[in-house]
Amino acid sequence: MTPDELVERWNGQQAASVADREGRFTAMLDTLELTAGGEFIAVDLAALRQDGFAESGTAWQLFDDYVVYGVV
């Protein structure tokens, strides 16, 4: 397999993953917007827990900017 073929294969896999993620979280974001008034940090933390992280939280915050972490 050539390097160009590998890159094309990788790009195809990543596009499928992004589309899948967008599909899963679109409804959740709409619901969160209605209930939490735009506090999307809850979605990020819930996604980390759903993906198998034992602990998740905010490592740093400045106004509306957050850095979150997950511990396996």
pLDDT, one tens digit for every residue, the chain (72 residues):
899 999 999 988 898 888 888 887 777 766 666 665 556 677 788 888 888 898 898 899 888 788 989 898
pLDDT value for 39: 65
| 48 close to 68: Cβ distance less than 8 angstroms | yes
Residues facing residue 56 across a β-bridge: 70
| 67 close to 58: Cβ distance less than 8 angstroms | yes
CB under 8 Å, gap of 24 or more: what pairs does 14-17 form? Answer: none
The answer, as to whether pTM is greater than 0.75, is no
pLDDT value for 16: 85
Burial class for 24, CB neighbours closer than 10 Å (0-12, 13-18, 19+)? exposed
